[in-house]
Structure 1
């Protein structure tokens, strides 16, 4: 079995940033019990999280949104700018927390509820560490609801040349991502293998200059691509 983590040289290094001691303790207990994952630090606020990220360079940061002082949004923006090696997963109590969506815009690579189960938490950390993103289909569809209330209805002309360069199949994949579908669900819908879906996703991200699938969702709604999907 392949070694889990961003490389074969060691475990995924995780930093916990949350102002609630019990929350940090709970996540640490789960992660300490797992092979291939190491908690390298804890911070009780955004400023401490930023400072620790600079010093320990974690692979993944589990970031609370609502904290005193520098909140999770500002901390995420600074970390993604100053510590590009570190990727952020936003944690929130509410799945329609607008602050969490703002953090995604700031550069976070994932969005999880604090009551997430151990299996989903670990899968999300591993996905983000490997360059993917962590966003469940339920959260993706919640994002759809939120964006549809705030952004104008679809305007295909708002899409730039990069979008026009997508093949019909890549456009279909982008729409599926924006709808919150996982690679497995996309593969089932298109009757192709997951590896083929991963290839399409990678090409979409590259052509659009996007970091991961979370930002593909945001891009799709900001450009009015939902509701005016190209036909493949």
Structure 2
């Protein structure tokens, strides 16, 4: 049985090196390599023809959404698996609309990631466990026959990752400290912060902290650990 050839496009070097070493040891998979930017990858597109592309979303110059579109234009039968930290419905929807074959969070287990790769390589669709729940909750919330909660929870607007970052912001962690603590890039932290400001409608850090306290994300006596 032929091995599934995999290529990774992700700008987070430490993550890429880590996941590459793990996938290289998996039976049935062959890691062809990786690119740390979409631009660099596209410059040698024709030299890299894997069975499955693992694509991050938050990348400089060309993001994963635009990259997925470009890959599909150049190679319509390409199998693309989004591998990202973003657990927002909007990102899932945008990636699916580009024609990607699967969406998995970087927090998923290695077992789930390998399953996703092999499923997508076989021409089928795959959504990670948390993404399935996200979509189910989103669609379920639109059901007119479903009993609505007496009081909507404002913080439900935020994804789990955004709540996690907001809690750290409220504890006066810098972007660099948050990135190091959560093992993500500073740019990913910046993107999440931008989304948090937009969703909470806060205009300042003080406004964010007030929101976090009012919604039980942090307490008044919270501080750096």
TM above 0.5, yes or no, is yes
Aligned length: 145
Structure 1, unmatched stretches of 5+, are 4-9, 154-232
Indicate the structure whose relative CO is greater, using CA pairs within 8 Å and at least 6 residues apart: 1
Partners of 2:76 and 2:29 in 1: how far apart?
20
Asked if the contact 1:47–1:69 (Cα under 8 Å) also holds between the matched residues in 2, the reply is yes
Partners of 2:63 and 2:27 in 1: how far apart?
31
**What does residue 39 of structure 1 align with?**
31
**What does residue 128 of structure 1 align with?**
120
**What does residue 68 of structure 1 align with?**
60
1:113-192 equivalences in 2 (<5 Å): 113-146=105-138
Residue 103 of structure 1 aligns to a residue whose secondary structure is helix
Shift of the 22–97 alpha-carbon distance from structure 1 to 2, 3 Å rule, reads farther
Asked if the contact 2:38–2:62 (Cα under 8 Å) also holds between the matched residues in 1, the reply is yes
Asked if the contact 1:65–1:100 (Cα under 8 Å) also holds between the matched residues in 2, the reply is no
Give the deviation of 1:110 after TM superposition.
0.5
Asked if the contact 1:49–1:75 (Cα under 8 Å) also holds between the matched residues in 2, the reply is no
TM-score under structure 1 length normalisation: 0.56
Partners of 1:22 and 1:138 in 2: how far apart?
24
1:66-105 equivalences in 2 (<5 Å): 66-96=58-88, 98-105=90-97
| Structural RMSD (CA) | 2.3
Give the deviation of 1:51 after TM superposition.
3.6
**What does residue 30 of structure 1 align with?**
22
Structure 2, unmatched stretches of 5+, are 145-225
For residues 9-28 of structure 1, what are the alpha-carbon distances to aligned partners after superposition, in whole Å with 9 as ceiling and x for unaligned?
x3111111100101111110
Partners of 2:28 and 2:95 in 1: how far apart?
27
Give the deviation of 1:148 after TM superposition.
6.7
